[in-house]
Each structure stands twice: as C-alpha cells, then as structure tokens.
A and B are shown apart, each in its own frame.
Chain A
C-alpha cells in the first residue's frame, strides 16, 4: 500500500501569506505521463473540493493562487496569497495504483 505523509500537520498563517504543504509518498509515483497525485480542500460541513490533479494541473474554476508541483515521491501544494476562504484542511491523494486511492493525513491551514 502506498502511504502518503503530509507536513506539517498544522500551518498557522495570516491572510496574504504564502502557504506551502508537502506530501511525501512511500514509493515513487512516477509514470510515463503526469504524476497521479491530486490535492483537495476540505471545509467543515462541505464536500471535499478537487484543487489539483496530475500533480500540477488546476481543476476547473480553481484560482491561480493555488499551484501544485513535484514528481516521484515529493509533492507540494502552494497557495501564494492566502484569502480568508482558503483556511481549511488540505489533503493529497494518490491514484498511482488506480482505481485504488489513498489520502494523506491532512494539513490544517489555520488563521494565525
């Protein structure tokens, strides 16, 4: 089973600051096409929202302040300037062994 480990568990930041969330896979997710790694935003009482897929492709309607990067075992979600609505929990998810999926444990981005 592929294990995804996110860091940090909690990120305390102010609006306007930059957020960087890391996701490390227990084995390489490298394929001949884009890396099978997605990022989701989750707010209390709401359904998770797809932000990024293929490690770096923004989903439809996602603002360009969200970006994803990385390959192999190390991936990063960056939010360049935090807006009030960006405070939430963020999860990475792999689909390397699709259709099976696994999620990282989540990173809470909270208001400092």
Chain B
C-alpha cells in the first residue's frame, strides 16, 4: 500500500523558516516525481512545484520561485518542502502528492504564520 506521511502542524513567526517532511512507503521512491500543493484558508489548490527524487532536479511554479525549496532524500525515502522568510500569507495546508496522475497524497500539514 502506497503511503505518504507528512510531519505535524507548525506555528511560526513572520520571517522564520519552516521545513515539512513527507515520508513515503509502498513504492520505489525514485519512480515518481514528488509534487507539493498549497491550500490557503478559503482558497483552492495551488501547485507549488516538484522534485525528481532520482536526481534532485526541481521545477517551481512562478508564484513559489525564490522562497520555496523542495528536496528529496533517497536514503530515507523522504521529500521535504521548505519555505523561508515566512509571511502571514503562507498560512496554509501543504500537501505532498505523487504518482503518474497525482493519485497518492499525504494527509496535509498545517503551517500557521503568526506573530
């Protein structure tokens, strides 16, 4: 059974950095890109970017270029998504997702940015 298990909720102050993990099991980690998706309060799903776990190459959506870093650790079958210089607008649930048609999703991680 494919499983993506994300790290727990985070509360951060503006200007801080948050790093969320997504540990996979049930499939070969390098077989699929790992995508990240944001859902801000009251908003829809927004694709952020992806990492190719096989070689570490990344692609970012234009809105997330610059402050977002997506990485993968093949030794632990874990993907990471880091957001730096946090702002209140980064308050959101973040999902990792994978599979040929994004058929597998993590449970989501709530990040709250508040002073």
Interface SS of A by simple majority: loop
Stretch of A11-19, A25-33, A75-83, A101-109 on the interface side: A101-109
Which of A60, A95, A99, A101 counts the most chain B CB atoms within 10 A? A101
Count contacts between A and B, CB distance < 8 Å: 54
Q: Which residue of B lies closest to A49 (CB)?
A: B105
Is A100 located at the chain interface by the 8 A CB criterion?
Answer: yes
Q: How many residues of A contact B (CB 8 A)?
A: 24
B108 with A47: CB separation less than 8 A = yes
Known interface pairs A47-B95, A47-B107, A48-B95; A101-B44 also in contact (CB < 8 Å): no
B46 with A103: CB separation less than 8 A = yes
Interface residues on B, range: 20 to 34
B106 with A91: CB separation less than 8 A = no
A47 with B45: CB separation less than 8 A = no
Interface string of A68-105 (1 = CB under 8 A from B): 00000000000000000000010101010001111111
7 inter-chain pairs at a CB distance below 8 angstroms, sorted by A residue, are A47-B105, A47-B108, A48-B95, A54-B101, A59-B101, A91-B45, A99-B50
Instruction: Please report A residues at the B interface, Cβ cutoff 8 Å.
Output: 1, 38, 40, 42, 47-50, 53-54, 59-60, 89, 91, 93, 95, 99-106
